[in-house]
Amino acid sequence: KKRGSYHFMHLTSSSVEEQVDNFLDYIVYEEGDFPPVLDIEVTKQAESIGIDATKHKVLKWLELVENRLGIKPIIYTSANFKKDFLSSSDFDKYDFWIAHYKNTEPDFKGYKFWQFTDKGILHGNDIAVDVNIFTR
């Protein structure tokens, strides 16, 4: 059985360490599972603390989780958030899962997943779903 885990990061409500501890308290990770995903898209919080503090907190979360689990997390964010806050070379070693709801791909390289819509339809289901492309 394969699993995945996902953490929505807040930049101003609790410390990075508290968020990592909380995340790791609730997940089970085994070899072969999908890497943990850090969802970071809180633009107003990032603007309030600035680019450097945002970058520092995100990198700290990624490093702490990687050190504890032994696997590099994936970063889920919007194309604009990546461009505005996560465009430094410090993030080059991480895979990105980019939310970019356009008919054209994001205008930068280095992402592994492209979420191109949140309005996908599954046969027999009236609920809209996210649709992603794995880019290798």
CA-based Rg of the chain, rounded to a whole angstrom? 15
Single-letter amino acid code for the residue at 41: E
> Looking at 17, 18, 31, 41, which residue is catalytic?
41
Tell me whether residue 105 is one of the annotated catalytic residues. Answer: no
Cα→Cα distances 90→56, 72, 79, Å? 10, 14, 17
- 102 is written with which tokens? 């356009």
What's the CA gap between 59 and 88, in Å, rounded? 11
Which residues does the annotation mark as catalytic?
41
